[in-house]
Amino acid sequence: METETVLDVTVIEPRLKHPTIFQNFDSLAPGESFIIHNDHDPKPLYYQLLAERGQTFNWEYTEQGPEIWHVRIAKIFTDEAGAESIGEIVAKDYRKAQVFKKYGIDFCCGGKKTVKEVCTKKGIDQSELEQDLLAAEQQTIGTEYDFQKWDIGFLSDYIINTHHQYVKDNTAFISEFAEKVARVHGANHPELIRVADIFGRIGQNLTLHMVKEEKILFPRIKELANYQKVGAVIPADDLGMVSVPIQVMESEHEQAGEDFEEIRALTANYQLPPDACRSYTILFKKLEEYENDLNRHVHLENNILFPKAIQMEKDLS
């Protein structure tokens, strides 16, 4: 049996790490793979690889810290590479988001995966899922906005005024409420202490995350839209002005998604115990509301705004 190649990126000069990994990936035949060995989570590489090579690979952690990370990167076959991602499916028809939610599939933070990929990983019957997706197309279309047609600058403002504002208005309240409920009920429900800790981290991370979007990324996206309006080409110094920070934003989105996945596991999908008081009930309702808003928020960015901005950047380069 042929031994799988392990690429130790810790011994490669920093400026050559990603080019070397890309070179190794490009040399693979479909179905072949190699493992990268690193001393930190290489998640930003995932987004760079996705941006530059598209849906042509599988990314699998075989070891995740705290000192060593191993990731198997495999080149997928051509028929798989052409498949739509979950995020692309939802971007075209938001009615299908409820189907993915029913199956416990993350369509926003983890929306880069294909249906086949996620069904294989989660042990879901793909034909049953696809039947439900077809059934969703028969549902009446409500007043859902067609975000795909919106100007990317206008969409950026909408995200700030709607979803960023929701986070700003609700994070401190829910965090304080979670700590209060944990103090009162933590003895009988120790998972609440962990929930309060996780949500506190989510709130801190999202607050910093939104500052980076509002002060750096979104102004660059608007600048890009202006280049297009006047028919200008992006100056050489501005190449990567949106694609590079987007890689970081998508990585942070995925972390938020993983944190909420842990909260759902700890709370059995926000199922209240028999001894839940009114505050306990309010906390779970607000956590679920916050997660639902975050799902829509990240969907608009990962699946609509960011792909449009990246494509615009390529077109104007």
Q: Render pLDDT for 79-135 as a digit per residue (tens, 0 to 9).
A: 555 567 887 888 788 788 888 888 888 777 666 778 888 888 888 988 888 888 888
The pLDDT of residue 292:
92
pLDDT-derived band at 1 (thresholds 50, 70, 90) equals: very low
DSSP for residue 9: G
> End-to-end distance of the chain based on CA atoms, in angstroms?
45
Kindly state the tokens that stand for 258: 């993983």
> What is the percent of the chain with per-residue pLDDT over 70, rounded to a whole number?
94
Identify which of 229, 232, 294 has the alpha carbon closest to the alpha carbon of residue 261.
Answer: 294
Question: CA-to-CA distance for 94 and 56, rounded, in angstroms?
Answer: 25
Kindly state the tokens that stand for 21: 């990994």
Residues 163-170 have a mean pLDDT of 97
The pLDDT of residue 81:
53
Residues 162-168 have a mean pLDDT of 97
What does the pLDDT look like over 130-150, one tens digit per residue? 888 888 887 766 556 788 889
DSSP for residue 85: B
The pLDDT of residue 145:
73
The residue among 78 and 44 whose pLDDT is bigger is 44
Question: CA-to-CA distance for 252 and 155, rounded, in angstroms?
Answer: 20
What does the pLDDT look like over 182-232, one tens digit per residue? 999 999 999 999 999 999 999 999 999 999 999 999 999 999 988 888 888
Under 8 Å between Cβ of 104 and 295: no
Under 8 Å between Cβ of 82 and 96: no
The pLDDT of residue 141:
60
Q: Residue 58: helix, strand or coil by DSSP?
A: strand
Kindly state the tokens that stand for 63: 């070891």
Numbered ranges of CATH 3.30.110.40 in the chain: 5-79
Right CATH for 5-79 from 3.40.50.300, 2.102.10.10, 3.30.110.40, 3.30.499.10: 3.30.110.40
Kindly state the tokens that stand for 225: 């839209």
52: pLDDT strictly greater than 50: yes
Q: Which residues contact 277 (CB under 8 A, 6 or more apart)?
A: 184, 185
Kindly state the tokens that stand for 254: 């995925």
* Residue 156: CB atoms within 10 Å: 24
Under 8 Å between Cβ of 34 and 24: yes
Identify which of 62, 102, 55 has the alpha carbon closest to the alpha carbon of residue 83.
Answer: 55
- Render the burial of 20-42: b for 16+ CB within 10 Å, e for the rest: ebeeebeebeeeebbbbbbeebb
Under 8 Å between Cβ of 93 and 136: yes
pTM of the complete model beyond 0.85:
no
- The dihedrals phi and psi of 190, each to the nearest 5 degrees, come to -60, -20
Residues 225-242 have a mean pLDDT of 83
